[in-house]
Amino acid sequence: MGDENYVYTAEVNYSLLTEGITLPVDNQVIFARNMGDFLQRGQSREINIFLCGKSYKAQIRNVNFNEKFKRKKDTLQIRYPRNGLFAQALQECFSKSYKYILTQMEMRPAHDRSVIKLPEEYIEYIAIYTTEFEDTYIFETIDSSDISYLKQATQNQQERIFETNFNYEAEDIASTIIEDKRIIKIRKLNKSIGENLKLLYNYRCQICGKLIGDSYGTHVIEAHHIDYYVNSLNNNSNNQLIVCPNYHSIIHALNPVFDKKRLEYTYPNGFREGLVLNRHLP
């Protein structure tokens, strides 16, 4: 499949493992654009999902058809038969999470329907991508073994080297790390999230607001992890900023503290600087 575009990264939970997933599309530029043509309000369509090289049938729905909810934006869901073939394939891929959830469900009172939160060592993810075909999606697993391997691979690594690799396809990381399939798919996801955010901000820096390189017919912009990736392994969009190379270098040189409530950096000399652009951070 070519022309893959990132849609969403979902943390594995009981609903995903049994019947479906809700897709927030507020910040997914290409996906939202394509879905506007493919699926109108209140409609549903049959789709194909590829998981681990196999194809499965599912349905995508635009569920924002009931006026009483007064939603301003459409809400999309991917649904599949409860505990059907695709759900069973997910349960096999994420067996560690699934067994933990089932055990917790057996232990709790029958009337308790609250969402079961996985402890850190059990957390797993599914990454969703579009393809060149509007009715076909790729689901890529990031299971506990992938995350465990990544923790080992990132030990004592420099954050700037990893981020350079995500932004520019650099070859500074040891080839043994790059060539491992577990690292490749996580690196692909990280880069995909960053590229989507760059589109969201039209390649402008969130701190200075400038469009760097436009006069030369190019765009030079980079994705930066607020909590350094080599420490947090958090590649979610809410842990990334889009910044120009100047600000990116300053941040890594001085390690300022980022206040997630005020959305501003505080530098070692006491200087504070906030974001001039924000369309994705809460």
Taking residues 158-180, what's their average pLDDT?
65
- Of the candidates 61, 59, 36, the one whose C-alpha atom is nearest the C-alpha of residue 47 is 59
The number of beta carbons lying within 10 Å of the beta carbon of residue 62 is 20
Unique residue bearing structure tokens 């493992």: 17
pLDDT in tens, 191-219: 999 999 999 999 999 999 999 999 999 99
Mean pLDDT score, 8-21: 96
Same domain, 131 and 12: yes
133 domain residue, yes or no: yes
The pLDDT value given to residue 57: 97
Where among 108, 142, 176 does a domain terminate? Answer: 142
37-81, pLDDT tens digit by residue?
888 888 999 999 999 999 999 999 988 655 555 555 678 999 999
CA pair distance 85, 89, nearest whole angstrom:
6
Domain of 79 in residue numbering reads as 5-142
**The pLDDT of residue 259:** 98
What does the pLDDT look like over 106-147, one tens digit per residue? 999 988 989 899 998 999 999 999 998 989 999 999 999 999
Kindly tell me if the per-residue pLDDT of 35 is higher than 90: no
Report if residue 80 sits inside a domain.
Answer: yes
Give me the pLDDT at residue 176, please.
42
What is the C-alpha to C-alpha distance for residues 279 and 282, in angstroms, rounded to an integer?
8
For position 70, what pLDDT does the model report?
56
Q: Are 51 and 133 in the same domain?
A: yes
Within the chain, residue ranges assigned H as helices are 14-18, 29-38, 85-93, 95-107, 144-154, 159-168, 175-179, 181-200, 229-232, 245-254
- The answer to whether residues 87 and 19 touch, using CB atoms and an 8 Å cutoff, is yes
On whether residue 38 sits in a domain, the answer given is yes
| Strand order from edge to edge, sheet including 257-259 | 257-259, 264-266, 272-274
Give residue 110's pLDDT.
Answer: 86
* Backbone φ/ψ region at 74: left (φ over 0), alpha (ψ -120 to 50), beta: beta
| Tokens at 33, concatenated | 């654009």
Bridge-based pairing state of the strands 44-51 and 136-142: parallel
The confidence score (pLDDT) of residue 3 equals: 65
**Is residue 178 within 8 Å of 90, Cβ to Cβ?**
no
Contact call for residues 85 and 56 (beta carbons, < 8 A): yes
Number of domains in the chain: 2
Q: Please count the other Cβ atoms lying within 10 Å of the Cβ belonging to residue 28.
A: 24
12 and 95 both lie in a single domain = yes
Mean residue pLDDT of the chain comes to: 89
Per residue in 149-187, is it b (16+ CB within 10 Å) or e — as a string? bbeebbeeeebbebbbbbbeeeeebeeebeebebbeebb
The confidence score (pLDDT) of residue 169 equals 61
Claim to verify: residue 163 and residue 218 sit in the same structural domain: yes
Last residue of a domain, one of 92, 114, 142: 142
